[in-house]
Amino acid sequence: MKRLYRLEPATFANIWGGNKLRAFGKSSEADRIGESWELSFVTGSEAKCDGVKTAELFDKSAWGERAAKFDFFPTLTKFIDAREKLSVQVHPSDAYALENEGQYGKSEMWYVVSADEGAGLYMGFNKEYTPCEIEAAIADGSIEKMLAFKEVAAGDVFFIPAGTVHAIGGGVLIYEIQQNSTLTYRLYDYMRRDKDGNLRELHIEKAMKVLNTGVYQPEAFDNADEGGRLIGKCEYFIAREYDVNAPLTLKTTKKSFLALTVISGAGSILAGDSTYTASAGDSFFAPANEGEILIVGDMKLITVEV
């Protein structure tokens, strides 16, 4: 098995998507690309390496000891280009999702790649509201006014635990690192219709059972551990940001895989006997093993492991 693989993402033509991802080398027959799933083991939406689906190419020995405790590959990473606002939504906790959906919930984090002037994210409510007030606002379409809005800039990071009501605003390009789950409850979607002309499904009753009714509290991470900037950490992923302007050596171990995504800039990645060119939007997967990866160039890089 090679020490490093270039990932071939799965792309999606979401109705709210834009065209910024084409500059990152993403392609689609559709006019808009909303999402590019960089590291994905999701059935039917897998990323590929050398034309082979990740789930077929990498067994648990490639995941690493920490990830192998899960019955599924624990992590999903993606680019999201929001030309328009995404729905107001919430993800349930593992406990609720396992009991009621037969699958896991979702916590996630957002890394802002770029943002148009005045663009931002909606995270939690701007004050404590009662469930009755929230349901009434959903019904009359005013719920967006109840959400806390924050203008954002490149490099901003936000960890969104399960239960946090949230929405990505129009004009924001993010890199999302999340628990490997596609379970989402929509509260409000601006009366938008899908490609077939139907109103998109809402899940208000379920959402009201799992959402936090108060103010979002940003989580700070202790950066005094293993280099880079620690930007997110939970049971399902550990994410770090590196500003590479001198040769950087990353060591892979048997404990975890290592995924790498270039956010900006360009350079080369040397692993074993192979050298890979790397530019903005490129993603790579290093199976769990004992080895080193040398990164040279001038780039901003995010790494993900468990």
Residue 22 is among the residues annotated as catalytic for this protein:
no
Question: Distance (Å, rounded) from C-alpha 231 to C-alpha 221?
Answer: 7
Residue 278: what pLDDT?
98
Q: Which of 32, 66, 83, 186 is catalytic?
A: 186
Global pTM value? 0.95
Q: Is 34 left (phi over 0), alpha (psi -120 to 50) or beta?
A: alpha
How many other C-beta atoms are found inside a 10 Å radius of the C-beta of residue 292? 12
Question: Distance (Å, rounded) from C-alpha 169 to C-alpha 122?
Answer: 7
Question: Distance (Å, rounded) from C-alpha 108 to C-alpha 106?
Answer: 6
Chain CA centroid to CA 146, Å: 25
Question: Distance (Å, rounded) from C-alpha 14 to C-alpha 32?
Answer: 7
Residue 231: HSE in the Cβ half-sphere, 13 Å Cα cutoff: 24
Single-letter residue type at 274: S
Low-confidence ranges of the chain (pLDDT < 70): 224-227
3-state secondary structure at position 135: helix
Query: Which H/E stretch holds residue 174?
Result: strand 172-179
Domains and CATH numbers, the chain: 5-210 (2.60.120.10), 229-305 (2.60.120.10)
Burial label for 231, CB within 10 Å (0-12, 13-18, 19+), is buried
